[in-house]
Chains A and B, each alone.
Chain A
Amino acid sequence: MKSRKVFLWAVALVVIASLVAAGCGGAKETKKEQPKYPTKPITLVCQYAAGGSTDLLARALANSLTKKLGQPVVVENKVGASGTIGTDAVLKSKPDGYTLLTSSTGNFTSTPLVQKVPYDPNKDVRHIINIATHQIVLVVHADSPWKTAEEFIAYVKANPGKLKYGQNSPGGTTHMAMESFRKAAALDMKMVPFGGGAAEVVAALLGKHVDVAVMHPQEAGEHLTAGKLRALLVFADKRIKPLPDVPTAKEKGYNVVMGVTKGVCGPAGMPDDVVKILHDNLKAIMDEEEFKAAAKKTGDFDYLEYMSGDDTAKFLQKMYKEMDPLIKELGLDKKK
């Protein structure tokens, strides 16, 4: 009798366990398409790890979009291979508007240039909207002798090959921004690559293991405010809201404008009316107080920048063309 009871308990436990696990997995069955959209839950795939900046933005968008559309929008993290796995999964999915992707610059520019990817970064995608653009800054330790970009550039020119610069996305947008700047200003520095997010490169800069680093401003945010790090240059078209005193590279005569765009896209071939519904709702969300409050928390607020789907596509294609020769010159496309 007793062993029977134990067995029943075991079965119950397993059933609960499997249910929980299945729930975490996220259902992905596609039912017959109906004219009205949306009639069932939408999956918003995030190609980066949970808790990262793209993921947080995705969750804020999903939260607002759920209320707008009346159907649950579920964030699913399909992580790996610099986002290629998640991007590929969405671009190969049924173009019915029920599987969407948080678009990020790298997957449509640098990554396809550096690695072999199983999708066409220009043809297989339909960009719906751009929500935010994250600029890139050049940062040094507050104890360093360089107070301005000019002092820094003069020092590097006087001491070629002496300084070490850190970056955390080999072949990625931040790396490319630094390399175009290095080329434009004819600077000779050693590049020390870091992996695993900006945390490592920020720690290395704080610990003075590298002399200078490139990153997104919010990745250094608190350390800039607390006066532990100092931003010298921003690689943007114009000065950015959070760092009004930091000059752009353009002002100093180096035409380096690169940034990471964040928006929503889906597979090519989505019906135009579905794209319009999504675009209009997302655009409306950008003006809502609730989303703005969420964006303040995710760190996107200062960087919110609306672009239509077509403009986003053009912007990304332009960056793709600029990076192509740079990546070839650095020999980063070897393994294609």
Chain B
Amino acid sequence: MDVVGNLLQGFALALSVDNLTACFVGVLIGTVVGVLPGIGPVGAMALLLPFSFGMDAGTSLILLAGIYYGAMYGGSTTSILINVPGEAASVVTCLDGYQMAKKGRAGAALAVAGIGSWVAGTVGVVFLMLFAPPLGKAALAFGPPEYFAISFVGMLLLSNLSGDSFVKSFLVFMLGMMISTIGIDVLTGFNRLSFGVLELTRGIEFLPCAMGLFGMAEVFAIAVQPYSVGEMIKVRFRELYPSREELKKSVWPIVRGSLIGFPIGLIPGPAAILSSLVSYRLEKGLSRRPEEFGKGAIEGVAGPESANNAASAGAMVPLLALGIPFAPATAVLLGGLMLHGVAPGPTFITGNAHLFWLVVASMYIGNFMLLVLNLPLVGFFASLTKVPPKILIPVVTAIMFVGAYSLNNSLFDIFMLLVFGLLGLAFKYMNYSATPLLVGLVLGPVFEKSLRQGLIMADGNFMFFLQRPISGTLLAVAALIVVWTAYGAIRKRGRIVTGE
């Protein structure tokens, strides 16, 4: 078969010393920047771009791509250990991963995240290899009305991720949407809600906000009650790895995460974050014990951590099939390709077949390297939970400060980290979940932009959204969700009434 022949040829090239080294260095750097909060794959890839001047096109693409998907492995580590998302896409892993660590199951969470990442990463490459050209064309069918419909469905499904009271989480979600409107409006260039503060015109960034609401809030909470965290969890080495039962529970979430993560990766913008949120929501919905989510359910780690890896493979599709980068990280990859005189476009896969198959082959190898690299580290990372809080907390705080600063080399982001830390602390005291705020912050810009673009296209006619097949179908699904939820709520209330 053509695919097999091409792939074997790709492997033959990818197994050269240069390419193997590039692959290893790439995934290693990716893991490191994934583990460190703040510095993400985009920054690391951009820093390494000049070094790739001297390499040939294939080798440098292998290196840069390695950083990109490697970061998705490392991102979960700090989420699980210290409640600080190392990568934007790993925010949702904080919810259950950190709770597992508190119960002494950090090792299990880390191991499952690693295995899930490997499975999903590999499945993602298979999809990329088989379906890139047709999927690339399909992605073009999505215009502003379709993105509006996607974000609307996302809003309904994801605004109440934590399962609190609907009113409470929707309020927090709306707050997140409002925060997302701060800064220069991309559609008109107007400054909004920046009150003359130059840094605010950039908008509120996701990572300082997420690190603040989770990590910094946790630090503040411990600082307020320093004597309540005295006891340490004793973990024996054998317990560092997941039990058979934990592995069994993770199988289906990993499979589902891999399958839904890939298509979500095709959505422009915050695809990786969305994929992990959707996977979490799905696992919670399917679980027989949804009440365990948020208290250390391993499914809540396995699913999302798989989904974001599959999404990173999905995000390569528009880049390789169309030459259009839908995410900041793939934009840097495009830059890397152009530096070598290879301009990806509609003819890239046929015109540069050897390069395409080389990258695909290297992604198989790289994903395997990542698994081998990450599993032995599980024990080391998990034993970090044995560090007493009086040492760990100042260190964690320092890491967060450095991470926030390194985003834009700006002190303002450290200030934002503290502001959101205090907000997160207030949420804790008032029993609000902070996750809907982050969902609002992610979905807000897509929702607003696509709604406005759609309305401009249709001269303000809302029916336009329903007339187009894809967006119409998605909006019908949204309507069903509303009806179903309302029906469920009424039935529940009815039961309570009759029960009394």
Give min CB distance, A286 to chain B, whole Å.
Answer: 18
- B residues 403-435 near A (Cβ < 8 Å) are 403, 405-406, 408-410
CB distance from A304 to the nearest CB of B (A): 16
Contact present for B387 and A7 (CB under 8 Å): yes
Interface residues of A in 161-218 (CB under 8 A from B): 164, 169-172, 190-197, 199-200, 202-204, 206-207, 209-210
Find chain B residues with CB under 8 A from A191 CB.
Answer: 456
Contact, CB under 8 Å: B346 / A10: no
Q: Is A68's CB within 8 Å of the partner chain B? A: no
Chain B residues contacting A85 (CB-CB under 8 Å) are 198-199, 201-202, 408, 410
**Nearest-CB distance from B97 to chain A (Å)?**
19
B residues touching A (Cβ–Cβ < 8 Å)? 32, 36, 38-39, 42-43, 45-47, 49-50, 53, 139-144, 183-191, 196, 198-199, 201-203, 268-269, 318, 322-326, 328, 331-336, 338-341, 343-348, 380, 383-384, 386-387, 391-392, 395, 398-399, 402-403, 405-406, 408-410, 449, 453, 456-457, 459
A1 at the interface (CB under 8 A from B): no
Q: Decide: A50 and B199 in contact? CB cutoff 8 A.
A: no
Q: Is the CB–CB distance between A203 and B324 below 8 Å?
A: yes
Cβ-based interface call for A17 (8 A)? yes
Among the listed B36, B346, B391, which residue makes an inter-chain contact with A7, where contact means beta carbons less than 8 Å apart?
A: B391
Do A25 and B409 form a contact, CB below 8 Å, given A81-B184, A85-B198, A207-B141? yes
Contact between B53 and A335 (Cβ–Cβ < 8 Å)?
A: no
Inter-chain contacts of A222 with B (CB < 8 A): 323, 343-348
Name B345's closest neighbour in chain A (CB-CB): A222
* B453 touching A194, Cβ below 8 Å: yes
Whether the Cβ atoms of B46 and A25 lie closer than 8 Å is no
Identify the closest chain B residue to A198 (Cβ): B324
Cross-interface CB contact of B409 among A9, A59, A75, A76, cutoff 8 Å: A76
Is B143 in contact with A196, judged by CB distance below 8 angstroms?
no
A260 at the interface (CB under 8 A from B): no
Task: Say yes or no: B191 contacts A115, CB within 8 Å.
Answer: yes
Task: Knowing A21-B39, A21-B403, A200-B268, say if A84 contacts B198 (CB, 8 Å).
Answer: yes
- Nearest-neighbor residue (CB-CB) of B392 within chain A: A10
CB neighbours (8 Å) of A6 from chain B are 383-384, 386-387
Determine the distance from Cα of A228 to Cα of B140 in the docked complex, in whole angstroms: 13
Q: In whole angstroms, how far apart are the Cα atoms of A195 and B268 in the complex?
A: 12
Contacts of A318 in B (CB 8 A): none
A223 at interface by CB-CB < 8 Å? yes
The answer for the CA separation of A193 and B406 in the assembled complex, in Å, is 31
Residues of B within 8 A of A292 (CB): none
Interface centre among A78, A190, A200 (most CB of B within 10 A): A200
Known: A21-B405, A225-B347. 6 other contacts (CB 8 A): A9-B384, A21-B36, A193-B453, A209-B457, A221-B343, A222-B346
How many of A's residues come within 8 Å of B, CB to CB?
A: 75
A296 in the interface (beta carbon within 8 A): yes
B387 to chain A, nearest CB (A): 5
> Closest chain A residue to B38 by CB distance?
A21
Q: Which of B318, B324, B345, B456 contacts A192 (CB 8 A)?
A: B456
The answer to whether B189 touches A294 (Cβ under 8 A) is: no
Q: Distance in Å from the Cβ of A167 to the closest Cβ of chain B?
A: 10
Shortest CB–CB separation between residue B247 and chain A, in angstroms? 26
Residues of A within 8 A of B185 (CB): 170
A223–B198 CB distance below 8 A: no
| Docked-complex contact A199 and B326, CB < 8 angstroms | yes
CB atoms of A118 and B198 under 8 A apart: yes
Q: Is the CB of B201 within 8 A of A226?
A: no
| Contact in complex: A297, B38 (CB < 8 Å) | no
Chain A residues within CB distance 8 Å of chain B: 3, 6-7, 9-11, 14, 17-18, 20-22, 24-26, 49-52, 55-56, 59, 62-63, 75-82, 84-85, 88, 114-116, 118, 164, 169-172, 190-197, 199-200, 202-204, 206-207, 209-210, 221-223, 225-226, 228, 294, 296-299, 332, 334-335
Question: B345 touches which one: A21, A81, A221 (CB < 8 A)?
Answer: A221
Cross-chain contact B457 with A196 (CB below 8 angstroms): no
Chain B residues, CB < 8 A from A10: 384, 387, 391-392, 395
Smallest CB-CB separation from A199: which chain B residue?
Answer: B324
Does the CB pair A17–B343 fall under 8 Å? no
Chain B nearest CB: distance from A210 CB in Å?
8
| CB-based contact A170/B187 at 8 Å | yes
Give the chain A neighbours of B144 by CB distance below 8 A: 192, 204, 209
Cα-based distance from A199 to B330 in the complex (angstroms): 11
What CA separation (Å) do A11 and B36 show in the bound complex? 14
A207 CB contact (under 8 Å) in B47, B140, B269:
B140
With A222-B347, A334-B190 as contacts: A24 and B32 at CB distance below 8 Å = no
The CA of A200 and the CA of B268, in the complex, are separated in Å by 8
The contact of B43 among A50, A62, A299, A334, by CB within 8 Å, is A50
Q: Are B331 and A52 in contact (CB under 8 A)?
A: yes
- Asked whether A14 lies within 8 Å of B387 as measured between CB atoms, the reply is no
> Known contacts A24-B47, A207-B140, A223-B345; is A193 also within 8 Å of B186 by CB?
yes
Q: Which residues of the other chain, B, contact A332 by a CB distance below 8 angstroms?
A: 188-189
A to B CB contacts below 8 Å, 5 in the list: A21-B405, A80-B199, A88-B198, A190-B459, A222-B344
B341 adjacent to A21 (CB under 8 Å): no
Q: Is the CB of B331 within 8 A of A226?
A: no
8 Å CB contact of B49 from A18, A24, A51, A200 = A51
With a CB–CB cut-off of 8 A, which chain A residues contact B408? 78-80, 85
